Amino acid sequence: MNKSIKPEQDQRKLAGTVRAGILRCIFLSSPKMRYFPRFKWRYVLAILSLLAVGSAGLVFWRAQRALRFATVEVQSQQFLELSVRKLAGVSSGFEWINAPEAFAGAAVFKGEFYLCGAAGLFRYDSHGVLLKHYRPGQELPPSPLLRMASGILRDVNEPELLIVTATEGVLAFNGADFRQILPTDTNARSITSILPLNSGQLLLGTRKRGVLVYDGQKLQEFHASLAGLHVTELAGNDSDLWIGTHDQGVIHWQAGRSESFAEAQGMPDPQVLSIALMNDKAYVGTPVGIGEFENGRFVRVLAPGRFVRAVYAQGPEVLAGTAEGIAEITAGPRRLQDIVRPANRAIADAQQIFTSGDSLYAVTRTALYQKESQHGGWRRVLASANTTLADRNVSALALDRTGRLWVGYFDRGLDLLDTNFQTRTHIEDDNVFCVNRVLPNPGSGSVAVATANGLVLFDESGSKRQVLGRADGLLADHITDAALYGNGMVLATPAGLTFLDGSGTHSLYAFHGLVNNHVYTVGAAGTEVIAGTLGGISRLENENVTANYTVATHGLTHNWISAVVRNGDEWMVGTYGGGIVRLLPDGRFEPFDLATAKFEVYPNAMLVTGQHVFAGTLGKGLYIYHRDTNRWTVVTEGLPSLTVTALAAGNGFVYVGTDNGLVRIAEQNLP
């Protein structure tokens, strides 16, 4: 193909040709040049050769340099950043309030039993005596523990107990010390399963990054075909691997080639909960049965319709851990009916079934069981202790005027604890179930509980007296928040605001000027009401909207308002994505140095005391505003989770509820 040359390039080329011709004529016409000694030409040729070699070397060096840069760039994209560090215990003033252990897995390591769960790691001797409890936020990172496996990794070359956390990577415990393998990327940090390999590598299944491999130094994708999966389970080895997924069935990876099996290929459900391998067979547990495979090919469905959380295979026997108990299945030839023996209901909701030596064990959320013989029953060998709280996922907190602590849960109703935490009254029914706010009335001693199924009213003794809902004049049954107002209350609902007093109920919504119908939080001071909604803030005076604020208003960082509290003559406003801002009496918004940032304030998780303003966040810990210095600090150490969901204060303590338990601290000991 001809290349076009510009006129100026033609001129430069012609000038160069003329100069070369003139020099050649001079050289040949000169007498001295004509008799130039022949041996000196050799020096000229040598110099020209050196110049040519140098030019070639320069080109080669530049090419190698570019290749090195390209290799580094590819490796930086291939390898994921991570840190490996030794853990040290946390010294904090937070006091642990016992909640259910919620066991998720177990293992036998160096002759001792270990159980893990939301409450941390429990270490028992061979006789079942508890030796040590390692707690999230104290001895361990602030995250529930999901599962365990033992293995030897390349970077330490000694047996370790490898523990998956929900949000803080993998913990490795050698019996004396913990170390943390923590990817920098939050998606790689959200690990669901692990599989130690004989090579010293560790496979990690993640929610969004698929299957990763850690070789003791680097973390990278295991194989491109397994990237981007929501992995739920791993089984096998590095040459013959089974990968369970959340919504794509099971994947069989063998010799660099992967094959997927979902409903179209016979699987009973695309969600995989468990996998068990035995010789050339694989059993894949799902919410509606077990998929059986032989030599990598789908064969049939066992236990159809059963929710199989855990599965274990031994000879012709397949054990299925279901919500009803452990079912024992004899998987006969395809032409014969499978034998399913009735499940043992005493060990319902098995999380894991495993062997150690000659013994078979099953882990439930409350205990560890051992099978007495091949066809015998199950015997409980370890059990959870009695706990102060009924659940771990706290959604609301309040102290009434007698000093009792009311603890509301996301889906387990309500606990009433006496001042010494010695007695507990648990309330859970169709109405008292999903609790959003507990609102004591200091004047009357009554307590209103806002739930997803109505407003439940209790008297001073803690007895349930009345349930109000849409049929009683409220805008909705779902009450997202409540605040004392006048002689009654103002209620936030997904359909607007309802005012409730002795005269009855009256409501307002977008038709009456509310900025948005979906009200998440509400605060009241005198005749003023602040309604935080999905679309901004409405300011009301005497039950009339006087101003609306959205992100179009200078200083408001986010339309989704999740919490509001009164601080002197101003309002502290928590947003779901824009941190915390200050609303002044004149309607202006002001940012804070630390607290106005890209994070989520958890719905209704703000509190004001005489010295502080507290704000709970989604995954960022506890924000504390010091009213005397007008400065914020962030607390993460000592919390069982970095998601702070509820706050209360009384008796000199600040109570901090999280999605993984409850702690308290003397307010004077706050950092």
**470 DSSP assignment:** G
Over residues 337-370, the pLDDT tens digits come to 555 555 566 688 899 999 998 899 999 999 999 9
Question: By percentage, how much of the chain surpasses pLDDT 90?
Answer: 78
Over residues 391-431, the pLDDT tens digits come to 999 999 999 999 999 999 999 999 999 999 989 999 999 99
Is residue 74 over pLDDT 50? no
pLDDT at position 391 is 97
Q: φ, ψ for residue 519 (rounded to 5)?
A: -95, 120
How far apart (Å, rounded) are the C-alpha atoms in residues 206 and 164?
11
Asked if residues 185 and 81 have their Cβ atoms less than 8 Å apart, the reply is yes
How far apart (Å, rounded) are the C-alpha atoms in residues 486 and 70?
70
Element (H, E) at 52: helix 38-78
**628 DSSP assignment:** T
pLDDT at position 341 is 57
What residues have CB less than 8 Å from 224, skipping those under 6 apart?
none
Average pLDDT estimate for 506-535: 97
How far apart (Å, rounded) are the C-alpha atoms in residues 422 and 523?
33
pLDDT band at 63; cut points 50, 70, 90: low
Is residue 554 over pLDDT 90? yes
Structure tokens at 642: 């970095």
How far apart (Å, rounded) are the C-alpha atoms in residues 539 and 520?
14
How far apart (Å, rounded) are the C-alpha atoms in residues 659 and 76?
36
pLDDT at position 646 is 98
Sheet holding 250-254, edge to edge: 231-236, 240-245, 250-254, 257-261
Average pLDDT estimate for 270-286: 96
Query: Among all chains, which residue has been given the structure tokens 């936020």?
Result: 137
How far apart (Å, rounded) are the C-alpha atoms in residues 219 and 159?
20
Over residues 647-660, the pLDDT tens digits come to 999 989 999 999 99
pLDDT band at 5; cut points 50, 70, 90: very low
What residues have CB less than 8 Å from 665, skipping those under 6 apart?
92, 93, 94, 95, 638, 653, 654, 656
pLDDT at position 73 is 42
Is residue 16 over pLDDT 60? no
Residue predicted with more confidence, 40 or 308: 308
Over residues 447-463, the pLDDT tens digits come to 999 999 999 999 999 99
Sheet holding 394-399, edge to edge: 394-399, 405-409, 414-417, 424-427
Q: Which CATH architecture has domain 469-550?
A: 4 Propeller (2.110)
Q: How many residues in total does the chain contain? A: 671
What residues have CB less than 8 Å from 32, skipping those under 6 apart?
none
pLDDT at position 282 is 97
Over residues 200-256, the pLDDT tens digits come to 999 999 999 999 999 999 999 999 999 999 999 999 999 999 999 999 999 999 988
How many angstroms separate the Cα of 583 from the Cα of each of 510, 561, 579? 22, 12, 13
Is residue 576 over pLDDT 70? yes
Is residue 71 over pLDDT 50? no
pLDDT at position 338 is 54
Beta strand 202-206 with 496-501: parallel, antiparallel or unpaired? unpaired
SS3 content of the chain, % helix, strand, coil (to 5): 15, 50, 40
Residue predicted with more confidence, 323 or 622: 622
pLDDT at position 348 is 81
Is residue 135 over pLDDT 50? yes
Q: What is the dihedral of CA 319, 320, 325, 326, to 10 degrees?
A: 0
pLDDT band at 316; cut points 50, 70, 90: confident
What is the rounded radius of gyration, in angstroms, for the C-alpha atoms of the chain? 34
Structure tokens at 545: 């909207």
- Could you give the 3-state DSSP secondary structure of residue 353? strand
Average pLDDT estimate for 600-611: 97
pLDDT band at 335; cut points 50, 70, 90: very low
